[in-house]
Amino acid sequence: MSGQRQKIQLELAFPESNEGEALQDSGAGTEPLAARTNSNDPVKLVNLIEEVLDQQNLNRAYSQILSNKGARTPGVDGMTVQQLKVYVQKHWPKIEAQLRDGIYRPQPVKRVEIPKPGGGIRKLGIPSALDRLLQQAALQVLQPHFDRTFSEHSYGFRPGRSAHQAVAQAQEYQQERYRWVVDMDLEKFFDRVNHDRLMARIAERIDDKELLKLIRAFLTSGVMENGLVQATEEGTPQGGPLSPLLSNIVLDELDQELERRGHRFVRYADDCNIYVGSRRAAERTLASVTHFVERKLRLKVNRAKSAVDRPWRRKFLGFSFTAHRQPKRRIAPASIERFKQRIRELTRRTRGCTLEDVIGELTRYLRGWLGYFGLCETQSVLRDLESWLHRRLRSLMWKRWKRGTVRFRELRNRGVRHDLAAQSAGSSHSGWRLSRSPALHYALPGKFWRSLGLPTLTIKAT
């Protein structure tokens, strides 16, 4: 988006602002943690509500939520983020007064269920468009103050940090011969956060009654499910911009405890792995940390999913590791199966899409997939997946050609010799079996799919 176009959108949202263009991120909170302070500020932060309601901050928040995919999902009021600017123009003076007086009441979040990659359902809470804006504005003010004091072992939902960095750190611990992992899973973490403990942690750093009231109001706004509003006495629903920061504030207490004990650990949101040198040490660690989490933090450890094991037998953020002395990053088996399932969905014969449409959808999916799993260091796995993908596509083409005469003609047009084309076209074998045949390999090689724009999964195309 050009600067001129962005300026028009933001002015429409907040016409009384004379700032014009959206603020650029100053980079606060994105520099390496070693360059930042590692202790809590002794002086409490005051007058933060003024920073939240600053017009430049609000403009930047609006631009951010507008660019998010979630902007297309309305909350309980049915208002989209695109429609929000008209509402704000009309009602902002009243909204601002309520916020400054500490009496603003957010609307209940809308319950939305999405499937988890590994099975099951994840429940999201989608705020109204206005509440999404206010949460994003509060996040932009709070994140720099809290982030610079978070643990260097925390990687989830933080500026300048990523899942790739977390996986690389886990790999480094294994290279240092810490070859046992305590894989901890918190049961329904986002639904179990204790509001009083969370607000007490925030109040240790913030002395701004209006902002504290606003944060608690977001926590207790309720959830609308099947047309009924349910009170929320605990938890911080996933789906709002502020929820990730609040979760990190809660689990920062766990990080501090693990650091105090001298553990080598990696945490990404509620996914925490602790690396130790022996099974006995790992079992002791799991027991003691479970006690801390459940007694002190008032959260619940999922004992069925938590385990002590070798890292190469567990998965972490979609990856696993080899058992070599210098372990390599590999794609976890569950992630490979999810990849294949998605490819099967996109290449179903009954979808009725053109080949161009199928290739287009596959290309978009593969680029996103490679953007994450391209960190894999076992190229043989990627080559096998690419070979399997091409086989799926050859099978799809064979089934679409349907009749033997069409199959024979297509094979001949692609340079297959007469006798081999006739033998393959007259075969009674399934398309999946024939997709490995010399005729289809010759007629539809890897370079054919790449010529259509399909990306290669390997560094060097083969």
Mean pLDDT of the chain: 87
Q: pLDDT-derived band of residue 70, with 50, 70 and 90 as boundaries?
A: low
Please list the residues that pair with 81 across neighbouring strands. none
Whether pLDDT at 33 is above 50: no
Whether pLDDT at 42 is above 70: no
The pLDDT of residue 43: 63
SS (H, E, C) 264-297: EEEEECCEEEEEECCHHHHHHHHHHHHHHHHHCC
Measured distance CA(136)–CA(198) in Å, rounded: 19
8 A C-beta contact, residue 28 and residue 149: no
Question: What average pLDDT score do residues 110-120 get?
Answer: 78
The pLDDT of residue 71: 63
Measured distance CA(401)–CA(412) in Å, rounded: 13
Q: pTM to 2 decimals? A: 0.84
Question: What average pLDDT score do residues 19-29 get?
Answer: 34
Whether pLDDT at 106 is above 80: yes
**Type of residue found at 85:** K
8 A C-beta contact, residue 450 and residue 456: yes
pLDDT in tens, 392-440: 999 999 999 999 999 999 999 999 999 999 999 999 999 999 999 999 9
Closest CA to 163 of 259, 273, 253: 273
pLDDT in tens, 321-344: 999 999 999 999 999 999 999 999
The pLDDT of residue 459: 63
3-state class percentages of the chain: helix first, strand second, coil last, to nearest 5? 55, 10, 35
Whether pLDDT at 269 is above 70: yes
Higher pLDDT, residue 104 or 27: 104
DSSP single-letter state for residue 124: E
The pLDDT of residue 19: 34
- Report the helix count and the strand count for the chain, using DSSP H and E: 19, 10
HSE-up of residue 111 (Cα within 13 Å, Cβ side):
15
Q: pLDDT-derived band of residue 14, with 50, 70 and 90 as boundaries?
A: very low
Measured distance CA(29)–CA(390) in Å, rounded: 44
**Type of residue found at 118:** G
Out of 46-55, 57-66, 233-242, 445-454, least confident range: 233-242
Q: pLDDT-derived band of residue 111, with 50, 70 and 90 as boundaries?
A: confident
The pLDDT of residue 118: 67
pLDDT in tens, 201-243: 999 999 999 999 999 999 999 888 877 887 888 888 888 999 9
Whether pLDDT at 2 is above 80: no
Q: Which helix (H) or strand (E) holds 230?
A: strand 228-230
Helix (H, G, I), strand (E, B) or coil at 273: strand
Measured distance CA(459)–CA(462) in Å, rounded: 9
Whether pLDDT at 28 is above 80: no
In percent, the amount of the chain with pLDDT more than 70 equals 89
Higher pLDDT, residue 76 or 275: 275
Higher pLDDT, residue 375 or 34: 375
Most confident region among 21-30, 114-123, 350-359 by mean pLDDT = 350-359
Q: pLDDT-derived band of residue 24, with 50, 70 and 90 as boundaries?
A: very low
Higher pLDDT, residue 188 or 215: 215
pLDDT in tens, 270-282: 999 999 999 999 9
Higher pLDDT, residue 83 or 444: 444
8 A C-beta contact, residue 137 and residue 287: no
Measured distance CA(251)–CA(184) in Å, rounded: 13
